[in-house]
Structure 1
């Protein structure tokens, strides 16, 4: 090579070439990707078979199991309704309380705490 001093651009290009070589060694090849694709397809087929067998098993189960499941769903619906009723009830109580506080403030000519 020359005895001339190395230019900054030439040095940077050489560093970039070295980094690109490192990146290429880490990149997946087409063979790697096709192997992954085959593995993924195999997993999907396996999952489909599992789901199909679960559905078939559920269809074959007796009425007792379905009845128990139905009772659990009814219990869950009841619990949600009770919770919803309770929450709505608290909202009504708070609204009534706010209205009463406003009336007391007006009666006593107090400034309203409400920012609106």
Structure 2
């Protein structure tokens, strides 16, 4: 999706604001500038997230990088957990049971 289409989808974002988000690395479309940027689905989701943080939740601009970093970490952890669940699920039943028992045990 091109810049113009993104701006049309979010009627209250101006090109200067979107450009700032890209320059700060909050959104990473393909292309060399506003006229040629190509936003993928993940970029649109990121724009939506930043838009909601700034407009709906009133998150200050200086706090946005921290919020984005924390949300990125949560996403990465969820992906890692899904991978582990698949890996454990692919093991023979005795191994699965041993892993599940170990997970239920208190730490230490």
Please give the range of the TM-score, normalised by the shorter of the 2 chains: 0.3 to 0.5
Structure of larger gyration radius: 1
Structure with higher helix content: 1
Structure number with greater CO (CA < 8 Å, separation at least 6) is: 2
- TM (norm. structure 2) is 0.34
